[in-house]
């Protein structure tokens, strides 16, 4: 079996990846099985550079706050701000200001420096301004949407003024209380004010849609796209907070589903712009249902990738990454009877494999999934090989 796998594993580059696909997709998604490992982000960066230079891709989008991502996009596209400021402010999650993310931003800005606007590469976050531990106030998204419309449409058409929004939003601390994650009673998501805000947000998004011809004629398309992003984010956050205030067993399943639905909406909007390279955790990009074990047991929901695939079909491609070791987290050499164990016999350097050929080499029944003692790493499920378009294997994660 190991010999057969050696024969079907090829050095990873963009050309080898694209050859696995019947046609270039609008969204080419590369998943990772854990977060915060620079080696995986270096692989991402190398592939994106090659996709830009050889295959015409112009956008990269990663699992990071979509509103913070605007700071990065302004810098790489127009040179707004400084590299230090952008890396500090433009990414969410603890691993955001990492060396590979900094290098990605630096390379994108250098690539764009002397190019016309239509040839420049773009950056986007596609996660909402939220994480499992909490969610942002809807203030930034909601007031930005209101400002965009106030500047361009008849004020009489607006459902409220800015002061009304400010009064209903109240203190941002009410929305960001970390205790609300485990205690629904501490959430303001079903207060009278939050209910009014949900209605107003829906009305503002409706007005944005109704005024699309006028808005596109009056301002640059980028401004309209940003207004749509603000609208998706405002309504998504208000829905997330609504379910955070729910005390039923459906609470966490709905919250996880809302988050990935927000991700999917952002990805579909980016697909309208042209081919985009997507990077996130495998669980957000896979076609199978995602699952997670939390304090109340096992939860399942449809990932952003599953939602996007349902809409785009063959124009969405998902490549899953597997890895060998993360010794600094207690993930040692994989057992030889697992997929990772068989792949670990490959030479150093990232490899890419056709999942159908890998499944054939594994035989039937396929090996059981590897078991990880560390919660932060999700091994590749051999049962999912029929639903991925490629497998990337990276052997060892260096110690930080």
Q: What is the DSSP secondary-structure string of 180-211? A: GGT-GGG--TTSHHHHHHHHHHHHHHHHHHHT
pLDDT reported for residue 95: 86
pLDDT reported for residue 120: 98
Residue percentage of the chain with pLDDT more than 90: 93
Could you tell me which residues come within 8 angstroms of residue 384 by beta carbon, excluding any fewer than 6 positions away?
286, 288, 320
pLDDT reported for residue 1: 65
DSSP 309-338: HHHHGGGEEEEEEEEEEBGGGTB-SPPTTS
pLDDT exceeds cutoff 70 at 375: yes
pLDDT exceeds cutoff 80 at 295: no
d(CA 396, CA 329): 12
Give the number of other Cβ atoms within 10 Å of residue 345's Cβ: 15
Counting runs of H as helices and runs of E as strands, what totals does the chain give? 17, 12
Q: What is the mean pLDDT of the chain?
A: 95
pLDDT reported for residue 67: 98
pLDDT, one tens digit per residue, over 84-135 is: 999 999 999 888 899 999 999 999 999 999 999 999 999 999 999 997 668 9
pLDDT reported for residue 373: 86
- pTM, two decimal places: 0.96
Query: What number is the average pLDDT over the span 182-207?
Result: 97
pLDDT, one tens digit per residue, over 259-271 is: 999 999 999 999 9
Could you tell me which residues come within 8 angstroms of residue 315 by beta carbon, excluding any fewer than 6 positions away?
25, 26, 27, 271
pLDDT exceeds cutoff 80 at 3: no
- The token duo for 179 is 């205790």
Could you tell me which residues come within 8 angstroms of residue 72 by beta carbon, excluding any fewer than 6 positions away?
86, 90, 91, 105, 123, 125
pLDDT reported for residue 378: 96
pLDDT reported for residue 382: 96
pLDDT exceeds cutoff 70 at 2: no
pLDDT reported for residue 51: 98
pLDDT reported for residue 358: 97
Query: What number is the average pLDDT over the span 76-82?
Result: 98
pLDDT exceeds cutoff 70 at 223: yes
d(CA 110, CA 104): 10
pLDDT-derived band of residue 293, with 50, 70 and 90 as boundaries?
confident
pLDDT-derived band of residue 297, with 50, 70 and 90 as boundaries?
confident
Task: Report CA dihedral (154, 156, 157, 162) to the nearest 10 degrees.
Answer: 100
Query: What number is the average pLDDT over the span 168-188?
Result: 95
Cis check for the bond before 365: say yes or no (omega within 30 of 0). Answer: yes
């Amino acid at each position: 079996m190991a010999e057969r796998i050696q024969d079907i594993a090829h050095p990873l580059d963009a050309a080898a990846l694209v050859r696995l696909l019947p046609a270039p997709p609008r969204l080419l998604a590369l998943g990772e099985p854990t977060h915060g490992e620079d080696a995986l982000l270096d692989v991402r960066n190398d592939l994106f550079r090659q996709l830009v230079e050889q295959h015409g891709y112009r956008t990269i989008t990663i699992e990071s706050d979509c509103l913070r991502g605007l700071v990065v996009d302004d810098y790489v596209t127009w040179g707004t701000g400084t590299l230090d400021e952008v890396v500090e402010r433009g990414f969410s999650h603890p691993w955001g200001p990492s060396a590979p993310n900094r290098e990605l931003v630096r390379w994108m800005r250098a690539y764009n420096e002397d190019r016309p606007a239509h040839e420049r590469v773009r950056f986007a976050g596609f996660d909402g301004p939220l994480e499992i531990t909490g969610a942002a106030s809807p203030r930034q998204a909601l007031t930005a949407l209101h400002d965009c419309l106030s500047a361009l449409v008849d004020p009489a058409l607006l459902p409220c003024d800015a002061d009304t929004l400010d009064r209903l939003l109240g203190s941002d601390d009410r929305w960001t209380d970390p205790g609300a994650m485990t205690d629904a009673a501490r959430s303001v998501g079903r207060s009278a004010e939050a209910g009014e805000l949900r209605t107003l947000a829906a009305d503002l998004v409706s007005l944005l849609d109704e005024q699309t011809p006028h808005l596109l004629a009056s301002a640059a398309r980028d401004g309209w796209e940003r207004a749509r992003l603000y609208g998706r984010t405002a309504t998504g956050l208000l829905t997330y907070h609504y379910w955070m205030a729910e005390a039923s067993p459906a609470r966490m399943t709905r919250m996880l589903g809302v988050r990935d639905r927000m991700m999917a909406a952002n990805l579909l909007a980016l697909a309208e712009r042209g081919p985009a390279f997507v990077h996130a955790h495998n669980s957000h990009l896979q076609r199978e249902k995602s699952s997670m074990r939390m304090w109340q047991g096992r939860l399942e929901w449809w990932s952003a990738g599953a939602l996007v695939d349902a809409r785009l079909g063959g124009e969405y491609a998902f490549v899953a990454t597997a890895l060998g070791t993360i010794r600094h987290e207690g993930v040692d050499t994989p057992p030889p009877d697992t997929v990772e164990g068989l792949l670990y016999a490959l030479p150093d350097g990232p490899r890419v494999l056709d999942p159908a050929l890998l499944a054939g080499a594994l035989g039937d029944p396929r090996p059981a999934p590897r078991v990880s003692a560390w919660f932060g790493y999700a091994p590749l499920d051999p049962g999912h090989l029929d639903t991925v378009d490629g497998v990337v294997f990276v052997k060892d994660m260096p110690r930080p």
